[in-house]
A and B are shown apart, each in its own frame.
Chain A
Amino acid sequence: MLRLRNLKCYYGRIRAINGVTLSVRSGELVALIGANGAGKSTLLQAVCGLVAQWDGEIRFEKESLKHCKPQHVVQRGISMVPEGRLLFPPMSVLENLKLGAYLRYRKREHAAIEQDLDHVLTLFPVLRERTRQAAGTLSGGEQQMLAIGRALMARPRLLLLDEPSMGLAPFLVQLILDVLVQLKTQGMTILLVEQNARAALQIADRGYVLENGRVVLEGEAGDLLADQDVKRAYLGKDYKEFDEGRG
């Protein structure tokens, strides 16, 4: 469904992504993990048309996304939940959600939009109680749910998430991940970027490990979870085992 081949991104002279090849098949949940500054967010932004300069190939359903502006990427069926949520704080929850369906309102799909709105509010019942509240006054977890809901309102076929667990309490992270699993069972294709590698790999089908703008490891999520290198670098397992050995 999504295929990146030898992708290179630049910020001026700095090369943030250095030849990444990656693919997401329809219906899959793929995790992209890596440390700070590995280029994970840059990769997502390149797919969404937010990176001005890139080389290589990005294809979505066989069509190239070269020179595609963000608004056209959405139109083709890719929605992103950006890092830091980027909600519209003074607007109400309902307005935020409705703006998510902006392009579909243009196409006069009112009935379908109402249906999707209901679907999103069923997915996140907390939001249903707060439709009139300003988005800026929600808690961090609720804001993340709203950001995901807003992206879903565009009825994407591919959902990109950039660090949805950032700054959230563990039980909220779990709640968000559960929703992603639920979306996947409903047929959504998901590319999940996470620093919280263990959580991401636990729900993913496959995973890629990014380091300094390159894919250093890829494979089935289960294999990656068991991989010694991944454990040491991203899961912090060594320290625990050291502790356990001592006790």
Chain B
Amino acid sequence: MQELLQYFFSGITSGAVYAVIALGFTMLFNSTGLINFAQGEFVMLGALSLITLWRDFKLPLPLAFCLAVVGVAMVGILLERLAIRSVRKPHPIVLVIITVGASILLRGVAMLHWGKDAYSVRSFSRHPPIEIAGATLLPQSLWILAIVLLIVAGLQFFYRRTLTGKAMQACSINRKAASLLGIGSESMVLLAFGVSAAMGAVGGVLIAPITMSGYDMGTLLGLKGFCAAMLGGLGSSWGAVVGGLLLGILESLGVGFFSSSLKDAIAFLLLLLILYVRPSGLLGVKAVHRF
């Protein structure tokens, strides 16, 4: 029982991080119909920037957090401006391959800058671990959960309550109709790239204290975030959260009860399973169309 609870705690912690990464995927997919395979690299950049700014430059944590996220959002915006928008024939497959190329580039640049070492950083606060029914819950887990909840709430507010959020949705539903109302798809796509990169960076910042961060951490995290997004249903914010948490918990249980070598296989087994059984994901619903 105690063991189970312990696995559950560590599962929701990493699950919450997967959820943020999945939200980045979902957000971009919602507004542009694109899958950005450089999403994992944004996570890596977020983590390494935080480590540099907070641990090495000794900036206060909130400032380092914000700078890291804004900086990575800028990288996302640059990627859209330089690599995505300049494509003459924007077929989805071309754009997806461009994002794969961007991920290789970003990894290379990160390796040049940070080297091949892996770094670690202390947890956000120095509170002692909390003991619940014999299992320990790290304060960092609480930080992660709280921030993820805040982000989901913020995203929901953005889509449901703000004009820009609705315009972004409109743009993804029908670009031509949106442009006829004066909604420029270019600015919406740019914004979506910025926000989804920022989301990736938040994932990186959150995970930095509980793992080793290096230039090559992004690939696997990105793929797991993608699994989580698919699991919950690509395009659904709550789906991303549910998918992320489920993936995290199953992974942690698998490691605990079977073997730690299974850890990374679980995500992909789940992905295959969901693609066979329910390709639209757990919470993915088909859009209501009358015609």
Seen from chain A, the residues whose Cβ lies within 8 Å of a Cβ on chain B are 48, 50, 69-71, 74-75, 79-80, 82, 86-91, 95, 98-100, 102-103, 105, 134, 136-138, 143, 150-151, 154
Contact = CB atoms under 8 A, between A and B. Distances in A.
Interface stretch (B56-64, B180-188, B263-271): B180-188
Interface residues of B, number: 20
Nearest to A74: B182
Given A89-B173, A89-B288, A138-B290, A79 B180 contact: yes
Given A82-B177, A90-B288, A102-B163, 6 more contacts: A70-B182, A89-B173, A95-B166, A99-B178, A151-B180, A154-B182
B169 A91 contact: yes
A118 B287 CA distance: 29
A160 to B, nearest CB: 10
B29 to A, nearest CB: 15
Contact of A88 (B170, B179, B182, B290): B170
Given A50-B176, A150-B181, A99 B167 contact: yes
A99 B183 contact: yes
Contact of A99 (B166, B184, B290): B166
B289 interface: yes
Contacts of B176: 50, 70, 82, 86
B180 A102 contact: no
A102 B170 CA distance: 11
A48 B180 contact: yes
Nearest to B187: A71
A89 B169 CA distance: 11
Interface string B202-213: 000000000000
B170 A137 contact: no
Contacts of B178: 99
A90 B290 contact: no
Given A71-B183, A91-B170, A99-B170, A137 B177 contact: no
Given A89-B173, A95-B166, A82 B180 contact: yes
B181 A137 contact: no
Interface of B: 163, 166-167, 169-170, 173-174, 176-184, 287-290
B183 A137 contact: no
A168 to B, nearest CB: 13
A154 B166 contact: no
Contacts of B183: 71, 99, 102
Given A134-B288, A136-B289, A86 B180 contact: yes
A217 B167 CA distance: 41
25 contacts: A50-B179, A70-B176, A71-B182, A82-B180, A86-B174, A86-B176, A86-B177, A86-B180, A87-B177, A88-B169, A89-B173, A89-B289, A91-B169, A99-B163, A99-B166, A99-B178, A102-B181, A102-B183, A136-B289, A136-B290, A137-B288, A137-B290, A138-B290, A154-B181, A154-B182
Given A98-B166, A99-B166, A90 B287 contact: yes
A233 B182 CA distance: 38
Contacts of A71: 179, 182-184
Given A74-B181, A136-B288, A88 B173 contact: yes
Contacts of B182: 70-71, 74-75, 102-103, 154
Contacts of B163: 98-99, 102, 105
Contacts of A82: 176-177, 180
A95 B167 CA distance: 10
A58 B188 CA distance: 28
B174 A88 contact: yes
Nearest to B184: A71
